[in-house]
Amino acid sequence: MSKPRVLISDALSPAAVQIFRDRGIEVDFQPNLGKDKDKLAEIIGDYDGLAIRSATKATAKIIDKASKLKVIGRAGIGVDNVEIPAATAKGIIVMNTPFGNSITTAEHAITLMLALAREIPQADASTQAGKWEKNRFMGVEITGKTLGVVGCGNIGSIVADRAQGLRMKVIAFDPFLSPERARDIGVEKVELDELLKRADFITLHTPLTEKTKNIIDAAALARMKKGVRIVNCARGGLVDEQALVDALNARHVAGAAFDVFVEEPATKNVLFGHPNVICTPHLGAATTEAQENVALQVAEQMSDYLLTGAISNAVNFPSITAEEAPKLKPFIELAEKLGSFAGQLTESGISKVEITYEGHVAEMKIKAITSAVLSGLLRPMLGEVNVVSAPVVAKERGMVVDEIVRASQSDYESLITVTVVTERQERSVSGTVYHDGKPRLVDIKGIRVDAEFGKSMIYVTNEDKPGFIGSFAGLLGDAKINIATFHLGRVKQGGDAIALVEIDGPVPADVVSKVRALPQVKQAKALVF
Q: Which residues are catalytic?
A: 235, 264, 282
**DSSP labels, 12-80:** --HHHHHHHHHTT-EEEE-TTGGG-HHHHHHHGGG-SEEEE-SS--B-HHHHHH-SS--EEEESSS--T
CB atoms within 10 A of CB 219: 11
Evaluate whether 523 touches 460 at the Cβ level (below 8 Å): yes
For 6, the enclosing helix (H) or strand (E) is strand 5-8
d(C-alpha 132, C-alpha 141), whole Å: 22
Residue 48's nearest CA partner among 305, 375, 390 is 305
Cα dihedral across residues 382, 384, 390, 392: positive or negative: negative
What's the length of the chain?
A: 529
For residue 424, the 8-state DSSP code is S
- Say which amino acid occupies 297: Q
What beta strand segments (E) does 316-367 contain? Answer: 350-359
CB atoms within 10 A of CB 452: 18
**73, 302 Cβ separation under 8 angstroms:** yes
Ordered DSSP codes for 259-299: S--SSSS-SS-TTTT-TTEEE-SS-TT-SHHHHHHHHHHHH
SS3 assignment, position 343: helix
d(CA 476, CA 455): 17
Contacts of 117 (CB under 8 A, 6+ apart): 139, 140, 141, 142, 201, 229
Which residues are bridge partners to 228 per DSSP? 253
The Cβ of residue 397 has, within 10 Å, a number of other Cβ atoms equal to 13
Question: CB neighbours (10 Å) of residue 268?
Answer: 7
**What CA–CA distance (Å, rounded) separates 137 from 505?**
84
CB 280 within 8 A of CB 290: no
